[in-house]
A and B are shown apart, each in its own frame.
Chain A
Amino acid sequence: MRELVVCSGKGGTGKTSVVAGLASLARGIVLADCDVDASNLFLVLDPEVERSHPFIAGHLARIKQSECLACGKCHELCQYTAIRQILDEAGDRTFFIDPLHCEGCGVCVHFCPTEAIDFFSRRCGQWYESRTPFGPLVHADLDVGAENSGKLVTKVREQARRLAENYGMDLILIDGPPGIGCPVTASLTGADLALMVTEPSLSGLHDLKRIVELASYFRVPAMVCINKYDLSPRLTEMVEKYCAEQGLPVIGRIPFEPLVNEAQATGRSLIEYAPQCEASRIMTEIWHLLECQLSESKQLKG
């Protein structure tokens, strides 16, 4: 089983549109949307949710007011300013915990002299197993403002692997989140190949360099495709120069295609919506090159 992860560093370069396109070309694969923070892949794959599960991770502390002596120890120890105090008119203090700031470290729970702080398991979101026309999809919604995005990504990938085994499918296609922080690290580690979707802009190039550095830190081989390449020929040239210096293959240049938005509005990938357009043709080429690369890496792995 192999895992292909699509990343970008910068947001909005077209990761999800590319993933949807590749999915409709590949067929018979497992899809994993690891952008758990703002998942969008389901919007263009028209999935039927078969099972949904709560995502429980970490803890949340809560003060039992009846047992609290208002000594202030928790307030003093908390590193996240999650413990707030209110002074009433008589000058008495009441402490409470702001769940948005609590990281669930348990320090206040441990050091409270009267054991007045409860420590609950925390629901941080939901994850789903769905069916799409192109294969099973595992996706998730992290609750707004919740912690543990990296753990939820790991959960999605684990489940995708399980489904791939069950269905005897050989490839998992991962839609990665933007950035280089914990959810990205969790999406990238251990993948067989990363496709970096970039755009010809100084921002796109700047962020590409950082995600490429991260991929090489985790020893994940990378290939690059330049989306909307015709928006700036000069920057496309700069991106290509950088990739050549780094020995990164550029496996496709996709032109700016206003039909992408129309396709999205109908809930379909560009490949399905406009199979004849230039962007669809290039994406098909990209898919063939990825397939070759993946089967080579499979042979190397034995």
Chain B
Amino acid sequence: MRVAIASGKGGTGKTTVAVNLAVTIARQGRSVHLCDCDVEEPNAHLFLDPVFSARWPVTVPVPAVDQDLCSHCGKCADICEFNAIACLPDRTMIFPDLCHSCSGCWLVCPQKAITPEEETIGNISTGKAGELVFTQGRLLVGQSLVPPLIKAVKDVSGDESWIIFDAPPGTTCPVMATMQGVDFVVLVTEPTPFGRHDLALALDLTRQLNISCGVVINRYESNPGQVENLCLREGVEILARIPFRRHVASACAEGGLAVDADAEVAAALSELAYNLTARAVTA
């Protein structure tokens, strides 16, 4: 079972749910691999104290120009849709930050003056955190090409019976890269107007990708009506309601596990694990 934990809005508790769900399932004796796909701001390791056994860079090909071979014909700049190449009368300049690695420029260059060169965008670490297999990607600060790094993180996961992907916030390319190919998406929301608004966007994305999903309402207290109504209207199952407990928030702030801080919260996570297991059986 490959599950992505996502949400439109940031800070609703994706990482809390991902980490505590992984721990809950692992404690039931099943093999679990947790992959932190929020490569811009990876946080899951803060709760798990992992021991990494391997670390390697992730690269993408970007063009390098041999100025001696270049005839300044401008075909590379013409084909580039991302303004990553400027062809001047005396030299051709590359802006790697804008490059999408489409390969157009080196394929089109009549002089064979452009070759792909690998540029590091981030790195991947993998290892163990207790019983969990744990992998994370980390984008280099200043880089902005996120999806290839996320894909590389997902490629690390193997034949564990549960693979849990902690997604970044939002509904654009990085989130899509995380969701693609998973069996199920858990959308974590909170009972506020911001939470409801962004949940609707995230639901829309799972539909476009044609992946089934369920909702977890985090910090469940007064006024959950708007979010509950949205789920009812959209026909989306609420998989768990995690109560708001201030001491849990404080424990998580300091890197503790929510399931160890409060019995009710632990019960909500067990319910989530149970509901997902039922999905895994029917899938």
Contacts and interface: CB of A to CB of B under 8 A. Distances in A.
Contacts of B43: 10, 202-203, 206-207
Contact of B204 (A43, A106, A144, A204): A144
B154 to A, nearest CB: 13
Nearest to A8: B10
A58 to B, nearest CB: 7
A58 B124 CA distance: 31
B156 interface: no
Given A11-B9, A149-B172, A38 B40 contact: no
A231 interface: yes
A264 interface: yes
B8 interface: yes
Contacts of A267: 193
Contact of B139 (A77, A181, A203, A206): A181
Interface in A113-129: none
Interface stretch (A163-171, A172-180, A240-248): A172-180
A142 interface: yes
Interface stretch (B233-241, B247-255, B268-276): B247-255
B40 A37 contact: no
A106 B107 CA distance: 12
Contacts of A178: 10-11, 40-41, 169-170
B192 A100 contact: no
Given A105-B104, A265-B223, A40 B198 contact: yes
B146 interface: yes
Residue from A44, A100, A181, A202 having most chain B Cβ neighbours under 10 A: A181
Contact of B10 (A12, A44, A185): A12
**Closest A-B pairs by Cβ, 4 of them:** A12-B11, A11-B10, A105-B102, A201-B253
B208 A264 contact: no
A33 B253 CA distance: 28
Nearest to A106: B81
A203 B46 CA distance: 7
B173 interface: yes
B253 A235 contact: yes
A11 B254 CA distance: 17
A277 interface: no
Interface in A88-138: 100, 103-107, 110-111
Place the interface of chain B in its size category.
35 or more
A24 interface: no
Interface string A28-68: 00000000011010011000000000000011000000000
Given A40-B9, A105-B104, A144-B208, A16 B194 contact: yes
Interface stretch (A209-217, A283-291, A292-300): A209-217
A107 B104 contact: yes
A252 interface: no
A11 B144 contact: no
Given A9-B41, A144-B171, A231-B249, A180 B141 contact: yes
A213 B141 contact: yes
Nearest to B173: A147
B29 interface: no
Interface residues of A, number: 60
A72 interface: no
A85 interface: no
A261 B10 contact: no
Given A150-B144, A264-B192, A100 B209 contact: yes
B193 A264 contact: yes
Residue from A38, A261, A265 having most chain B Cβ neighbours under 10 A: A38
A99 B192 CA distance: 33
A177 B171 CA distance: 12
Contact of A180 (B12, B41, B192): B41
B255 A202 contact: yes
Contacts of A144: 171, 201, 204-205, 208
A232 B250 contact: yes
A58 B102 CA distance: 14
Interface in A3-23: 9-13, 16
Interface string B1-45: 000000011111001000000000000000000000000110100
B10 A214 contact: no
A84 interface: no
A223 B187 CA distance: 33
A179 B40 contact: yes
B9 A38 contact: yes
Contacts of A265: 192-193, 223
